[in-house]
């Protein structure tokens, strides 16, 4: 195992995190949308660091930055390491970026110590994971996995600019997107290090964990209809108050969610009509999000929630309709890679903890074609997508050591 004392170069990592965070559209937080002048500047900087780390750098047909560190065995399949360089609006400086910078750092340590593994390594800075600009997801990693669709080019941003046009504006030919797809046979596997974006590692007082997989998701819109009326004249017992009915339904969602260990369920959006202090709510529209690493659990719980909401609606003489607007199955990390990461955690005197990711990652797209492993690094209060997002230098150092030693075990 390469010990922490041999790999300590935290100053370089901190400097790179700071330098990249300065490339932002907004003063507050980090805002770096894809196919913009900020993303181009970030790509140039990351390319420069990759070259410093001994890699040959190219941009693929979807503007993913790819740095390659050659191995000793010709034709050996490549180990991919990556995460994303785009952000949400007013994001923090760790989400996505930390995985790219520590990937580069891991290779730079090999390079500076004259270590040349059997297999080549490629570090990838994906162009668009968050999908903030075009309301898409995983554009860069889906292109590499061969799952980018022609119709993705027609996605538009808030100014009506299509993805195809945005690509042309930075000198790219969008019709060539298929060239970004990689042959799965040429890839050994994919590793991604990412901040946890949740509070579990902080609660367990541990720097890092393995990731068992990425939760599947159902997103629904719902509509509860009753009867509006005068807030002063209609007795409470005679009302068909859509909001009171919805409140009872939300309680049922929470109660059902608590019965499944792997399930999270959230009602995060409500619109109340007509929305006046002196009118009984006649209509509520809302949105609900369900996630679980176990697809059957998610499906069973969703069915129970819908049935229970229907019973509540019937009892209160309301109508209740659900519409499924998005669904994605759970993605499981490779048990082989999970085992390796867990053994590395133990070597670092940590529990072999494996967490479920409730958030999406580029690993979701790449796991469709090759074995995938993920490492989580603790972040303060589980906060992400926020300027106050924070990971400590100590945790970043441990994360780097876990990543590097995992790489060495996979490709030694």
Which three-class secondary structure state does DSSP give residue 237? helix
Place of tokens 């970030």: 42
**Contacts with Zn ion in 47-76 (CB under 5 A)?**
none
Contact indicator for 362, 84 with CB cutoff of 8 Å: yes
What track of x and - describes contact with Zn ion for positions 241 through 280 (by CB under 5 A)? Answer: ----------------------------------------
Q: Which is nearer to Zn ion, 98 or 305 (CB)?
A: 98
Q: What angle do CA 294, 372, 127 make, to 5 degrees?
A: 105
HSE value, Cβ hemisphere, 13 Å, CA-based, for 143 = 27
Report if residue 389 touches Zn ion, rule: CB under 5 A: no
Output the smallest distance, CB 211 to Zn ion, in A.
Answer: 13
Output the smallest distance, CB 247 to Zn ion, in A.
Answer: 33
Contact indicator for 147, 125 with CB cutoff of 8 Å: no
Q: Could you tell me the sign of the dihedral formed by the alpha carbons of 63, 362, 80, 124, in that order?
A: positive
Q: Which is nearer to Zn ion, 61 or 91 (CB)?
A: 91
Considering CB under 5 A, how many residues would be counted as binding Zn ion? 2
Could you tell me the two tokens for 1?
């195992």
- Residue 109, beta-bridge partner list: none
Contact indicator for 81, 32 with CB cutoff of 8 Å: no
- C-alpha span between 21 and 29 (Å, rounded): 8
Output the smallest distance, CB 361 to Zn ion, in A.
Answer: 6
Length of the chain: 412
- C-alpha span between 390 and 179 (Å, rounded): 36
Output the smallest distance, CB 92 to Zn ion, in A.
Answer: 10
- C-alpha span between 283 and 365 (Å, rounded): 39
Output the smallest distance, CB 193 to Zn ion, in A.
Answer: 11
> Which residues make Cβ contacts (< 8 Å) with residue 114, sequence separation at least 6?
none
How many angstroms from the chain centroid is the CA of residue 293?
14
* Residue whose C-alpha is closest to residue 353's, from 206, 193, 202: 206
Q: Which is nearer to Zn ion, 88 or 320 (CB)?
A: 88
**Contacts with Zn ion in 173-232 (CB under 5 A)?**
none
Output the smallest distance, CB 143 to Zn ion, in A.
Answer: 17
Q: Which is nearer to Zn ion, 101 or 188 (CB)?
A: 101
Q: Which is nearer to Zn ion, 95 or 122 (CB)?
A: 95
DSSP class of residue 156 equals B
Q: Which is nearer to Zn ion, 21 or 297 (CB)?
A: 21
> Which residues make Cβ contacts (< 8 Å) with residue 67, sequence separation at least 6?
47, 50, 51, 53, 55, 56, 57, 104, 107, 122, 123, 124
Q: Which is nearer to Zn ion, 82 or 286 (CB)?
A: 82
Largest Cα–Cα separation, the chain:
83
User: Residue 335 phi/psi, 5° resolution?
Assistant: -65, -30
**Contacts with Zn ion in 76-115 (CB under 5 A)?**
95-96
Place of tokens 């929470």: 254
Output the smallest distance, CB 101 to Zn ion, in A.
Answer: 13
Q: Which is nearer to Zn ion, 95 or 128 (CB)?
A: 95
Element (H, E) at 248: helix 242-258
Output the smallest distance, CB 332 to Zn ion, in A.
Answer: 19
Output the smallest distance, CB 34 to Zn ion, in A.
Answer: 13
Residue nearest to Zn ion (CB): 96
Q: Which is nearer to Zn ion, 29 or 174 (CB)?
A: 29
Output the smallest distance, CB 201 to Zn ion, in A.
Answer: 16
Q: Which is nearer to Zn ion, 130 or 225 (CB)?
A: 130
Which residues form the interface with Zn ion (CB under 5 A)? 95-96
């Amino acid at each position: 195992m390469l010990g922490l004392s041999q790999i300590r170069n935290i100053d370089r990592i901190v400097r790179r995190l700071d330098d990249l965070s300065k490339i932002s559209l907004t003063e507050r937080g980090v805002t770096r949308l894809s196919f913009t002048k900020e993303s181009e500047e970030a790509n140039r900087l990351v390319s420069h660091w990759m070259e410093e780390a001994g890699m040959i750098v190219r941009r693929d047909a979807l503007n993913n930055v790819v740095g390659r560190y050659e191995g000793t065995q010709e034709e050996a399949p490549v180990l991919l390491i990556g995460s994303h360089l785009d952000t949400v609006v007013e994001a923090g400086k760790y989400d996505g970026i930390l995985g790219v910078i520590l990937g580069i750092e891991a290779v730079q340590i090999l390079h500076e110590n004259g270590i040349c593994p059997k297999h080549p390594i490629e570090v990838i800075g994906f162009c668009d994971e968050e999908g903030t600009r075009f309301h898409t997801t995983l554009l860069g990693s889906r292109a590499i996995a061969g799952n980018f669709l022609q119709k993705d080019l027609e996605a538009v941003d808030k100014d009506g600019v299509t993805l195809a046009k945005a690509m042309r504006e930075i000198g790219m030919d969008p019709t060539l997107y298929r060239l970004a797809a990689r042959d799965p046979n040429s890839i050994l596997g994919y590793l991604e290090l990412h901040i946890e974006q949740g509070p579990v590692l902080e609660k367990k007082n541990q720097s890092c964990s393995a990731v068992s997989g990425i939760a599947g998701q159902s997103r629904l819109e719902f509509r509860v209809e009753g009867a509006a009326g005068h807030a002063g004249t209609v007795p409470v017992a005679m009302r068909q108050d859509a909001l009171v009915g919805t409140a009872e339904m939300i309680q049922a969602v929470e109660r059902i969610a608590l019965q499944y260990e792997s399930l999270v369920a959230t009602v995060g959006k409500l619109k109340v009509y007509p929305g006046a202090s002196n009118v009984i709510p006649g209509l509520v529209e809302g949105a609900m999000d369900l996630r679980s690493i176990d697809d059957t659990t998610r499906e069973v719980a969703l069915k129970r929630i819908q049935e229970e909401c229907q019973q509540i609606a019937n009892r209160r003489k309301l109508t209740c309709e659900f519409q499924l607007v998005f669904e994605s199955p759970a993605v499981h990390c490779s048990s082989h890679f999970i085992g390796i990461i867990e053994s590395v955690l133990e070597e670092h005197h940590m529990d072999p903890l494996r967490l479920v990711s409730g958030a999406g990652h580029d690993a979701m797209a790449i796991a469709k074609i090759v074995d995938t492993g993920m490492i989580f690094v603790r972040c303060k209060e589980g906060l992400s997508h926020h300027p106050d997002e924070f990971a400590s230098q100590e945790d970043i150092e441990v994360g780097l050591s876990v990543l590097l030693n995992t790489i060495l075990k996979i490709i030694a």
